[in-house]
């Protein structure tokens, strides 16, 4: 089973929840850090790294001998990665989405492909080998998160419980991270900001047709907008994590949820079973 | 000679736009004919990426030999250079005053991008 941990808003506690879930269960688990612009689950899981691999994408390379400067490739490119000024095109590889269209429209077959690295995958394990940790990291200056996320996901095996730590927001990197997951936990906080972005996230997972529930972090602060919204929308609240000073202290030292709030452990332990039993709407 | 200046307006009394890539248009003044046209750049307002690149292509296709703007990013600068369009920097003001300043030698050509991408 693959459980994705997502949110609309950043900073609500996705990594806190994803790490807690990975550490709570006693079975083998794979923690996949798909928040490739700022992967930080490893700070808390402290995996032993066994290997790294590069994430390569293909970008066009122009054969200026064969090119007739017709500009068809540049006109085709929706990402402005190719520019033709009546000359062989200039290539901006960092803008290329590797769609391959320019090579298809080129009448003289002048475009070949060159591999460039846009990120790195780290493979490791934590908690004496019980937790496999796969982390994707996008290179600074690269803007294409989805290929890095796809490569993280290529390491997921079907027979192991997998926790996917998603990036914030509702755009392409989130969709790519959610794709293939069986269930989504949406982490939010009880504030107007949390509610606003939770609604966006709920709209997203509903369009994707994925079963989901909500985790409210820093529960006893803020207002009751999120709870009322969930009640009206008949959305199950899977967990309410209390707001404690001790949690902030533990977090600041790279500790995990149960170091500060041990009474949450039983609930997190039972989340995979609850999901399997189909608790979606109360 | 044609001189392009980014502007949200439609005439020479309009202000210079502080943005190059995401300006809604360029006022292109012909110093020989003493006339101007407004070249549309509005497809770049919502471009996900590469606005500076596309704007530089748009400027080049107007036949302008010079473009005057407060700032140019690295990709825009690269395209302008390849297209043989001089990139000249200015401060705020009207399009008319900016072009006059340039013609009076008060503005100078830029030899590199003066802001980061996505400035």
Q: Are residues A136 and A175 in the same domain?
A: yes
Q: Kindly report the CATH number assigned to the domain that includes residue A85.
A: 3.30.70.20
In a domain, A282, yes or no: no
Considering Cα of A62, then A173, then B47, then A118, what sign does the dihedral take? negative
From A144, which residue of chain B is nearest by alpha-carbon distance?
B49
Q: What is the pLDDT of residues A192-209, one digit of tens each?
A: 999 999 999 999 999 999
Report the complex ipTM: 0.75
Contacts of B54 in chain A (CB under 8 A): 80
In terms of residue numbers, what domain contains A254?
A: 2-55+118-277
Contacts of A102 in chain B (CB under 8 A): none
Which of B43, B62, B75 to mutate to probe the A interface, most A CBs <10 Å?
Answer: B75
Cβ within 8 Å, pair B53-A143:
no
Q: Are residues A192 and A103 in the same domain?
A: no
d(Cα B8, Cα B63) in Å, to the nearest integer?
Answer: 20
In a domain, B97, yes or no: yes
Domain count along chain A: 2
Cβ within 8 Å, pair A92-B82:
no
Would the pLDDT of A165 be above 60?
Answer: yes
In a domain, A73, yes or no: yes
Q: What is the pLDDT of residues B63-118, one digit of tens each?
A: 999 999 999 999 999 999 999 999 999 998 999 999 999 999 999 888 888 887 76
Burial label for B33, CB within 10 Å (0-12, 13-18, 19+), is exposed
Q: Are residues A35 and A165 in the same domain?
A: yes
The predicted structure's pLDDT at residue A281: 43
Phi, psi of A89 (to 5 degrees): -65, 145
In a domain, B116, yes or no: no
In terms of residue numbers, what domain contains B90?
A: 2-103
Q: How many residues does chain A have?
A: 282
From A78, A109, A140, the end of a domain falls on A109
Q: Kindly report the CATH number assigned to the domain that includes residue B12.
A: 3.30.420.130
Reduce the DSSP state of residue B13 to 3 states and report it: coil
């Amino acid at each position: 089973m693959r459980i994705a941990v997502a949110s609309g808003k950043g900073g609500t506690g996705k990594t806190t929840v994803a790490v807690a879930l990975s550490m709570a269960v006693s079975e083998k688990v794979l923690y996949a850090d798909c928040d490739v612009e700022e992967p930080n689950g490893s700070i808390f899981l402290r995996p032993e790294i066994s290997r790294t691999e590069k994430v390569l994408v293909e970008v066009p390379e122009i054969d200026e001998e064969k090119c007739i400067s017709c500009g068809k490739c540049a006109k085709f490119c929706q990402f402005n990665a190719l520019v033709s000024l009546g000359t062989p095109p200039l290539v901006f590889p960092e803008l290329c989405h590797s769609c391959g269209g320019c090579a298809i429209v080129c009448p003289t077959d002048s475009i070949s492909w060159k591999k460039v690295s846009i990120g790195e995958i780290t493979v490791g394990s934590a908690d004496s080998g019980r937790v496999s940790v796969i982390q994707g990291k996008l290179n600074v200056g690269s803007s294409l998160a989805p290929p890095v996320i796809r490569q993280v996901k290529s390491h997921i095996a079907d027979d192991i419980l997998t926790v996917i730590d998603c990036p914030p927001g509702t755009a392409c990197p989130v969709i790519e991270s959610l794709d293939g997951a069986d269930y989504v936990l949406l982490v939010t906080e009880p504030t107007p900001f949390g509610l606003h972005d939770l609604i966006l996230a709920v709209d997203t997972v509903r369009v994707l047709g994925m079963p989901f529930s909500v985790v409210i972090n820093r529960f006893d602060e803020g207002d009751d907008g999120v709870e009322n919204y969930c009640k009206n929308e008949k959305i199950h609240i899977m967990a309410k994590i209390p707001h404690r000073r001790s949690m902030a202290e533990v977090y600041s030292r790279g500790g995990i949820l149960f170091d500060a709030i041990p009474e949450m452990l039983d609930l997190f332990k039972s989340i995979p079973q609850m999901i399997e039993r189909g608790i979606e709407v109360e | 000679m044609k001189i392009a200046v980014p502007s949200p307006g439609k005439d020479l009394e309009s202000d210079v736009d502080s943005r190059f890539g995401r300006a809604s248009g360029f006022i292109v003044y012909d110093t020989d004919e003493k006339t101007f046209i407004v070249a549309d750049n509005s497809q770049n307002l919502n471009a996900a990426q590469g606005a500076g690149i596309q704007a530089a292509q748009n400027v080049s296709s107007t036949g302008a030999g010079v473009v005057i703007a407060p700032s140019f990013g690295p990709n825009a600068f690269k395209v302008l250079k390849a297209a043989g369009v001089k990139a000249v920097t200015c401060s705020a003001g009207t399009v008319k005053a900016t072009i006059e300043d340039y013609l009076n030698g008060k503005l100078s050509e830029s030899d590199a991008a003066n802001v980061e991408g996505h400035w």
